[in-house]
Structure 1
Amino acid sequence: MKSVSLDQMFHDQLRDVYYAERKILRALPKMARAAQSQELKAGFEKHRTETEAQVERLQQVFDLMGKRAQGKTCPAIDGIIEEGEEVMENYKGSAALDAGLIASAQAVEHYEIARYGTLCAWAGVLGMTEAVKLLQATLAEETATDEALTSLAEASVNEEAARTAA
């Protein structure tokens, strides 16, 4: 059995999330254009700005490790984004579109929350205190975005989708 150290696994997962964040940066403008709710559009635009800062933080973590910032294909995020594109295509013009966009965005957020939580824990064990701070800042943003999406869905979007369908 191949022996892989935690720092190797940390680097591998860092590459994974770096790829994911850059892929998300390309998807967010499409989602903002597709959204019907102005509040949802604004939320996607705000998160795009946050995601740009998150990519910069990841680059700082790579620098702390003495490694080049480089992504690694992440089939999980590719699949989640593909599902979001299907929602945009299949529900375009429907009242359910925004509810589907929120569900798609939350799938992304949940993936990121899982990854950043793990990376924070591993960075702590590895004694990478500066990396922990950078990763925790991103984890807090991802969690706040997920909560904002839930609030928007519960406050209006889900009800509007249900009301129009009836």
Structure 2
Amino acid sequence: MMIRISEAIREEGIVLDLKAQEKVAVIKELVSVMVDLGLIQDEETFLVDILKRENLESTGIGLGVAIPHARTTATSELLLAFGRSAKGVDFNSLDGKPSHLIFLIAAPEEKKSHYIMALARLSKILRKEEMRTRLSKAATPAEVMEILKEAE
């Protein structure tokens, strides 16, 4: 089963200018976008799950990227949201730099392999400097979608 990042994210789930400036607030902002889209059934459960995961170890992978993620009973499908912060958010990244590109992943509790594959695919895409630059400069959510489709 091929996991496509571009199929797990919707244009409406892309926030090009995050209002939140602190890690937990950014996570809450992206979770509420998913809730507003009707993608997450139980906001409270998902927030608890994702913050619990975040407390285990930072999801700031460096290079200006963070991928907060969790498996949860709050969704029955693999979902992604994307937020961008010009100022950057402290995600306790491995390289100590703030995160500007933040992808949030929600995965059903029982679909561990999908979750691992999505995480691996996204990490691979974001390791490429060209992809990070293009995502940083994308003017619209539609453009972000195009970039992700091309990358796969």
TM-score, structure 1 length as denominator?
Answer: 0.26
> Which structure has greater helix proportion?
1
> Which structure has greater strand proportion?
2
TM-score, structure 2 length as denominator?
Answer: 0.27
Larger radius of gyration: 1
